[in-house]
Amino acid sequence: MKINHVAIAVNNLDEAVKEYQNVLGVKEVEFETVETEGVRVAILHLENSRIELMEPTKETSPIKKFLDTRGEGLHHIALETGEIEGEVNRMKGTGTRFLGEVRPGSGGTKITFIHPKSLHGVLTELCSHPKK
């Protein structure tokens, strides 16, 4: 596995993108709306990973709930794996708890989330890219 991205919840995506671009010197940013998760994301590419800024698009979005209770900040880390279904099955065998099933994510990925109680309070996303 490798770190795919670090996700940060923000109240205003456009303002946050400008600030991150200015501070980090990132020129190119990809925007995408992930309807299944109720978020609009901005992906900032770094040399060895990505930062994903997330803004809720609806009141029922988990990101909206996060912002209301915790405010802006680090939401989760994402780990990339080649075979997400196999990893999920292996992890379930260790007693790892998940938040939902494997489902579509941004950029054609498959995703699921490991419950924070399984990893010492850190929400962790597993993701895999489609086979080419």
Q: What domains appear along the chain, each with residue ranges and CATH number?
A: 2-128 (3.10.180.10)
User: Could you read off the pLDDT of 51-90 as tens digits, one per residue?
Assistant: 999 999 999 999 999 999 999 999 999 999 999 999 999 9
pLDDT at 97: 97
Residue pointed to by tokens 């994510």: 105
Strands 124-128 and 110-114: antiparallel
pLDDT at 124: 97
Strands 98-104 and 124-128: unpaired
- Pairwise pLDDT comparison (130 vs 58), residue with the higher score: 58
Question: Cα–Cα distance between 95 and 25 in angstroms, integer?
Answer: 42
Q: How confident is the model at residue 106 (pLDDT cuts 50, 70, 90)?
A: confident
